[in-house]
Chain A
Amino acid sequence: MDLTELYQSVILENNRRPRNFRKLPTANRIASGNNPVCGDEITVYVQVEGDRIADISFQGAGCAISQASASVMTQRLKGRTLAEAEALFGRFKEIVTEGKPDEEDLDLSAFAGVHQFPARIKCATLGWHAAINAVHGESVTATTE
């Protein structure tokens, strides 16, 4: 396959300039994720107000897929309710495991090429797992293993 199918411009661009890449001083939920196979590490900061994600940010080091996915995730989750966040993660998992793009969500659909690289699906979902753990207030470290 052509590498640009995996590394779409949305992914390369978000990897070079990740959005919301910072600590969040107002965060009331924090969770970490790591991939012991490659050493990727991510920390997600969430400010939850009621049942809504008022603000969200992340920091970490990892491959383009994991960094871009976390960057896109923070943009898509800000302002969402917790239920909406879970539903969005469900849709994202379908995109990266089955390769079916969602025409209404082009940013998430940029990750559809990941399904052809099964070893990289964990990279794409690492930040999401950490975020969902954070909003549930679980102080566990998300791991891909």
Chain B
Amino acid sequence: MNPPIVASAPDWAALRADFPILDQTVHGRPLVYLDNGATTQKPRAVIEALVRYYERDNANVHRGVHELSYRATTAYEAARARAARFIHAGAPEEIIFTRGTTEGLNLIAYSFTSRLKPGDAILVTEMEHHSNLVPWQLLAERTGAKLLFVPITGDDGLLDLSHLDELLARNVKLFAFPQISNSLGTINPVAELCTRARRHGVVTVVDAAQSAGHLPIDVTALDCDFLAFSGHKMAGPTGIGVLYGRQALLETMAPFQGGGEMIASVQFDHSTWNKVPHKFEAGTPDIAGAVGLHAAMDYLDAIGRPAIAEHDGHLARDAYARLASVPGIRLFGPPGERGGLVSFSLAGAHPHDVVTFADQEGIALRGGHHCTQPLWRKLGVTATTRASFYLYNTAAEVDFLIEVIGRAARFFGG
């Protein structure tokens, strides 16, 4: 493994060379990858970790006594310990490996079925990704609990917290919200939300899908009960994710899926559960994915997440400020501090046409509802175009984006 060597400020241009996929042309133009909110690209260190694992160490975990099984188990558990350090969890036992953010949120929702009853409430926000909304809708359906929503203020995409305490007092058992909105770029005040929820005895769930690879995260300081994220949105492989859970809470929770690995002993008619976190990891896990995620966490921390947040946040703020001068544009999310993405709509140019137009120039954007349909319905738009940035994006790419969006506006608006 060759973690990047960093002096004071990272050499962003040199880091870009760590990502082999970026060195190609698309439709005859250099690739400008601005769809990092959907998934990020992988540095060579992560790709090589996967190859090395499969070429030398591959075996099943926790049940073999042979050498390769020992190595695979050691690597898998080392990734768990690394994930605990990555988010400042109290112990590796608080780290459950999942397929991604969505599975982590579903795990909580499923396990909480026995804890909710009619009259209880689940609080979410109007800016939820479908993956942090639909699992709670299903939980509400199963238990008779109702869903409540923290409203947003408007196009500037901030949470309206003026009635938060009244909402939390309405028999709310669980409060789920994103750290960074995937559609608006809003960075929510997680520590404040957790503190206020705790005063009402409400369990907190943080969707960190858009933040884990960008911001430093300290679950102990944030004082959240759960936090979920995906490896593939933070330079790691697809198919692996992390659910952090407060250990005392995990101990009392019902399992999610049944199968091998999650049991202590099995009789024909009943079983007893393995200890946390294995109780929540039925079946053979994505061992290679965990190894790749370990390499990704090492890679990001060698650069430093504060530097990454400053870099892609700056690109997003710059893009936001300059897009404002494109005729017919409507920009979403806060004008100031924001995560590394910008969403907008153009009068007379549908997002899918804008994305097709940009694609012909080699720019990868996302157009559509970004899995936040209720949010857009409230704001009166059906779809937007999103540019999302990461550590390998450059100021020159933002320049090109602004130029191409201006041309698209003229082409379609006419």
Contact = CB atoms under 8 A, between A and B. Distances in A.
A38 B352 CA distance: 8
A64 B353 contact: yes
B373 A39 contact: yes
Contact of B356 (A62, A67, A117): A117
Given A7-B411, A38-B367, A65 B353 contact: yes
Interface in B81-125: none
Contacts of B351: 38, 63
B264 to A, nearest CB: 43
A69 B265 CA distance: 62
A39 B411 contact: no
Interface in B251-307: none
Interface in A70-86: none
Given A7-B411, A12-B412, A123 B382 contact: no
B383 interface: yes
A46 to B, nearest CB: 24
Contacts of A67: 350
Interface residues of A, number: 21
Interface in A92-145: 117, 120, 123
Contacts of A41: 382
B368 A63 contact: no
B369 interface: yes
Contact of B350 (A1, A3, A37, A62): A62
Contacts of A1: 27, 360
A57 interface: no
A61 interface: yes
Interface in A1-57: 1, 3, 6-7, 12, 15-16, 37-41
Binding site of B, secondary structure by majority: helix, strand, loop or mixed? mixed
Nearest to A41: B382
Interface in B354-375: 356-357, 360, 367-369, 373
Given A7-B411, A38-B383, A39-B383, A16 B348 contact: yes
A4 B412 CA distance: 11
Contacts of B383: 38-39
Q: Contact residue range for chain B?
A: 20 to 34
A12 B27 CA distance: 22
A39 B412 contact: no
B353 A63 contact: yes
A49 B348 CA distance: 35
Given A12-B412, A12-B414, A16-B414, A40 B353 contact: no
A40 B382 contact: yes
Given A3-B360, A39-B369, A64 B382 contact: no
Contacts of B350: 61-64, 67
A61 B382 contact: yes
A37 B411 CA distance: 24
A40 B383 CA distance: 8
Contacts of B376: 39
Interface in B317-356: 348-353, 356
Query: Which of B352, B360, B383, B412 has its CB near the most chain A CB atoms (within 10 A)?
Result: B352
A63 B352 contact: yes
A38 B412 contact: no
A61 B382 CA distance: 8
Nearest to A38: B368
Contacts of B353: 7, 63-65
A62 B383 CA distance: 9
Contacts of B369: 38-39
B414 A39 contact: no
Query: Which of B350, B357, B368, B383 has its CB near the most chain A CB atoms (within 10 A)?
Result: B350
6 contacts: A3-B357, A12-B411, A16-B414, A37-B368, A62-B350, A63-B350
Instruction: Please name the 5 residue pairs, one residue from A and one from B, whose CB atoms are nearest each other, closest first.
Output: A63-B350, A63-B352, A39-B369, A39-B382, A64-B353
